[in-house]
Amino acid sequence: MLSPTTLTAAFDRVTDYWSPKVVGRVNDQLLKVAKLKGKFVWHAHDGEDELFYIVKGSLRIEFEDGPVELSQGDFLTVPSGVRHNPVADEECWVLLIEPASTKHTGDEVTSRTRSLDEQLS
């Protein structure tokens, strides 16, 4: 029997900022939840869009041509190859939708980079 997931409850698995956890899948895309606070890392995902949906709080995504502000309940797809840097002035809860192949920080590897195995744990 299939069992639904309550989106807000799925955040219970998240214990660290900037450390997404996989909570669902539809076709070749993974649904991940993450808690964000502070500035992340400028990066891009070549060949892969990344959708941000704001579950709680607000998020500013910096792009090379300026920032976009997302409020609770907003979503935005960052197109493939577009460099961006998420910045959360206060704690923000996001749902991410992206392919299983997406690397957390694109080709930028930092101490904050989380592998897919870490995201599945």
**What x/- string results for residues 28 through 67 when contact with a copy of itself is judged by CB under 8 A?**
xx-x----------------xxxx-x---------x-xx-
CB of 36 to a copy of itself, least distance (A): 16
Which tokens go with 105?
A: 């920080």
Nearest residue (CB) to a copy of itself, 1 versus 111: 1
CA 1 to CA 89: how far, in whole Å? 41
Residue of 90, 97, 91 whose CA lies nearest to 76: 97
Using CB under 8 A as the criterion, which residues of the chain lie in contact with a copy of itself when the complex forms?
1-8, 24-29, 31, 48-51, 53, 63, 65-66, 68-71, 73-80, 82, 97-99
